[in-house]
Amino acid sequence: QVQLVESGGGLVQPGGSLRLSCAASGFTPGIYAIGWFRQAPGKEREGVSCITFSDGRTYYADSVKGRFTISRDSAKNTVYLQMNSLKPEDTAVYYCATDFPPYGSSWDEAYEYDYWGQGTQVTVSS
C-alpha cells in the first residue's frame, strides 16, 4: 500500500531553517516524482518543489528559489526539503505527494498527483 509520511515541521523564527522529510513506501523506488505542496488558512494549495526519483530533476516555485533545496535519498526512499531563510509567508501545512509516470505537464498542479501524506505544520513567527 502506498504511504507517505511527512516529518520535521515546527516553529521557527524568521530567517531560521527547517528540514522536512517525506518517507515513501509501498511502491518501487525510482519510478515516480515527489512534490512538496503547502496550504495556508484561507488559501489554495500551492506547489513548492518537486523532484524526480529516477534522475533527480528538480523544480521550484519562484517564491522559494535560492532558499529551499529538495533532495532524495534512494537508499531510504526519502525526499527532503531543506528550508533556509524562512519568512512568515512560508507558514503553512506542508504536504508531500507522488506523481507516477506518465507525468503531467505541470509539476506544481495538485491535481497531477496521485497520493498524499497527512502534512506537517511549519510556522514562521517572532
The whole-number pLDDT of residue 57 equals 92
* Residue stretches of the chain with pLDDT short of 70: 28-30
- Provide the 10 A C-beta neighbour count for residue 89: 10
The whole-number pLDDT of residue 29 equals 61
The whole-number pLDDT of residue 13 equals 98
- Whether the CA torsion 90, 108, 6, 29 is positive or negative: it is negative
The whole-number pLDDT of residue 125 equals 97
